[in-house]
Chain A
Amino acid sequence: MKKTTFFGAVAAATMTAGFAAAGTLDDVKAKGFLQCGVSTGLAGFSAADANGNWDGFDVAVCRAVAAAVLGDPQAVKFTPTTGKTRFTALASGEIDMLARNTTWTFSRDVDLKFTFIGVNYYDGQGFMVPKELGVSSAKDLDGATVCIQTGTTTELNLADFFRSNNISYEPVPIETNAEAQQQYLAGACDVYTTDASGLAATRATFENPDAHALLPEIISKEPLGPLVRHGDDQWADIGRWTLNALIAAEELGITSANVKESAMAAGNNPEINRLLGTEGNLGEQLGLSADFAKNAIAAGGNYGEIFARHIGESTPIGLARGLNAQWTDGGLIYSPPFR
């Protein structure tokens, strides 16, 4: 009995020590680094090289936020999370933000109590089939065997799509993308369905990519974005406007090459001046330095540069901008004004 009270006292002491810290921003500044949750490995989005340096499209978001908050894109520690551990890692405070190709859905936002700070990639579920099957539309897939990752939104989307088109299919449940790749190549299923970016990345690794086709139908909306915990609006704002700064920079023609020069002195374009902190006090309003956006852009370039370097058409993954083009080019990537 004595021992129990004693342990309780210790736990309470630790708890008060834990609560003494204020918002996430202060925590991050005090720690001196950002703890960012990423995928354990997804081609183009997050991967560690042979030296343990993380790189990728999602990783770049973490680095931009670290640069905006701490002025150093390397001041990030990455926590590899799986599909099963990502939300608890964020909710428990183990990580400060999660940038792990996570679909923004109602229940994740509302029920799981997270705040999505934007969309960095608009994805959608597609189908891949061997060309020799002679299928040109997903509606021809009546009776097909379909490789599908279990426990994901793609599984539900697939059921919806086939039901609404009144055709049948036979699911082949698989656990990981790597397993799916093997099953599909071994002919265990006629069709492989997952996010279109994943299909393109998978197809690029085949020995003979031309023998496989992506069908034109995209059957779901998968807006992928970084997220933070509910309840710390300042921290969510920092993430949101760092992402927006990358997007606005592309729109305004600011790249990693010219950002330093443009931030030296105020230019003719007031929007650029406000963004880069040569005019107004946007950084201060966020609780950051005036040049937060400059640092974020200098970290890895603007949105377009990050896209091109990690998943763009010149990379092995070879994704076209498509929906992820700037709104001025007919895409959905759009930043509210910096004003």
Chain B
Amino acid sequence: MSDTHAQTVAYVRETMLPEQAPPSTAAGPIRWMRDNLFSSVMNTVLTLLSVYFLWVVLSLVLPWVWYGSWTASSLRECREVVSDLGLAHGAACWSVIGERYLQLIYGFYPDELYWRANLAFILMIVALAPVLYPNLPRKILWFSALYPFLAFWLLWGGTLWTPVVAVAGFVLAYFAFEILNRAAGSLVGVIAAILVPVIWWLLLAGPVANGLAAVIPLAMEPVESAKFGGFMLSIIIGVTGIVMSLPLGILLALGRQSDLMIVKAICVGFIEFIRGVPLITLLFVASTLLNYFLPPGTTFDIILRVIIMVTLFASAYMAEVVRGGLAALPTGQYEAADALGLDYWKATRLITMPQALKISIPGIVSTFIGLFKDTTLVSIIGLLDPIGLTANIRADSNWNGIVWELYGFIALIFFIFCFSMSRYSMYLERKLKTGH
């Protein structure tokens, strides 16, 4: 059979022809452009219009950016330098950034202490890493837990014993809970875990810290809050707000879904109140009203006040985002958890919350990004964040009248931060994707 054709057909190709490159119009960049840019008359017109628009914008912006002066020492001098270039739309005066970038980053933080701020920033990345990337060693989480106290000490300086006794409060709370939980039941344990550290912080922590400081004086040069500014301030407020608002928001979301009437009422009242009030109002309360309520002479740090307000604000929004995730879970998940005999906290921790958080990632990250950008509002209450510093820099008679360069620089830095956050959230979504 096999050689039937050998007799009837003159020639049989026994090997495949090698693949030919497709014609140039059907592959590579030309094909791509035909498919995506010039597939119809309408699209061609739109493409050409877009290219023209890009050309117009970039031909204005790029020379302005590129030929900008880095050397002029004042706006006046810069204008002379730039007008000598003979560009139609002038050029930027980047030297203001060159002169003031340290101030835009650190505010008035003493320059011989910049290393402390830098170290705090690097350690922040170390502390965040195990939270962001779960395949790192879990032991680093202990460092993450201690990091806030370490960062406080690095940034504000003063005696080491203040953060140490603050940590001691949490340790005491843990032991009080462990001991009383076994001896007298979980409710007593919880109450003791709240009361013991509060008593410790309010009554004993101060004298103990002073005593320890007198015996072993471990202290760094203190830096007052008024010296904090620039992106350092934005990052302090933003990151603290972000880190604290997520757990608070989760608790509020659970509270809002709770069957316990009082818990539910408190959570709903809190969320609705905070969401009904603009952030700037809360900041005004923090900066001005609190001063009237607190006894004169009390120093309640302004940055701390702002952080508290920003955290409360963000946690109300976070609660609603997380509640959205919880609501999106099929009832079957809750019932399955019950059927397995899990108690409420186990069911939440193991079954519902991981899924709800996964669904809410885009919303959570949006809230984070919004919160980080909202930190610029503190300029209205007189804190010198980057936006607040622009007024200050313009008040220097050398730079009075400069606008675009400053705002452009600040926008670029903010973009880098916010864009990284959004890329991270996309990575996380991809990684946690379990659907089909």
Q: Tell whether A and B belong to one assembly.
A: yes
Q: Measuring CB to CB, which residues of chain A are less than 8 angstroms from any residue of chain B? A: 3, 6, 10-11, 14-15, 17-19, 21, 39-52, 56, 77-82, 84-85, 88-89, 91-94, 176, 178, 181-182, 201-202, 204-207, 315-317
Chain B contact-residue range equals: 35 or more
A29 to chain B, nearest CB (A): 16
Do the beta carbons of B403 and A182 come within 8 Å of each other?
yes
Do the beta carbons of B382 and A52 come within 8 Å of each other?
no
Please, which residues of chain A bring their CB within 8 A of the CB of B296? Answer: 15, 18-19, 92-93
Do the beta carbons of B297 and A21 come within 8 Å of each other?
yes
Do the beta carbons of B397 and A41 come within 8 Å of each other?
no
A44 to chain B, nearest CB (A): 7
Kindly state the separation between the CA atoms of A21 and B388 in the bound complex, as whole angstroms: 33
Describe B's contact surface by its main secondary structure.
Answer: helix
Kindly state the separation between the CA atoms of A205 and B75 in the bound complex, as whole angstroms: 8
Do the beta carbons of B392 and A205 come within 8 Å of each other?
no
Please, which residues of chain A bring their CB within 8 A of the CB of B384? Answer: 40, 80
Residue of A nearest to B100 (CB): A50
Do the beta carbons of A47 and B382 come within 8 Å of each other?
no
Do the beta carbons of B108 and A48 come within 8 Å of each other?
yes
A6 to chain B, nearest CB (A): 8
Kindly state the separation between the CA atoms of A91 and B291 in the bound complex, as whole angstroms: 9
The total of Cβ contacts below 8 Å across the A-B interface reads 123
Q: Measuring CB to CB, which residues of chain B are less than 8 angstroms from any residue of chain A? A: 75-76, 79, 99-100, 102-103, 107-108, 111, 195, 198, 202, 224, 226-227, 284, 287-289, 291-292, 295-298, 379-382, 384, 388, 390-397, 400-401, 403
Query: A92-B292, A315-B397 are known contacts. Are A40 and B388 too (CB-CB below 8 A)?
Result: yes
Do the beta carbons of A17 and B391 come within 8 Å of each other?
no
| 20 A-B pairs whose Cβ atoms sit less than 8 Å apart in the complex | A18-B296, A19-B295, A19-B297, A41-B393, A43-B400, A47-B396, A48-B103, A80-B388, A82-B379, A82-B382, A88-B287, A88-B291, A88-B292, A91-B292, A94-B291, A181-B403, A182-B403, A201-B400, A207-B79, A316-B397
10 extra interchain contacts, Cβ-Cβ under 8 A, other than A40-B384, A40-B392?
A15-B298, A41-B393, A41-B394, A51-B111, A52-B103, A52-B107, A77-B224, A79-B226, A91-B292, A317-B397
A91 to chain B, nearest CB (A): 8
Please, which residues of chain A bring their CB within 8 A of the CB of B379? Answer: 40, 82
Please, which residues of chain B bring their CB within 8 A of the CB of A42? Answer: 395
Do the beta carbons of B295 and A14 come within 8 Å of each other?
yes
Among B99, B380, B393, B397, the most chain A Cβ lie within 10 Å of the Cβ of B397
Kindly state the separation between the CA atoms of A92 and B290 in the bound complex, as whole angstroms: 9
Residue of B nearest to A6 (CB): B202
Do the beta carbons of A49 and B380 come within 8 Å of each other?
no
Give the 9 A-B CB pairs with smallest separation, nearest first: A18-B297, A205-B401, A92-B291, A41-B395, A15-B295, A47-B395, A52-B108, A88-B288, A41-B392
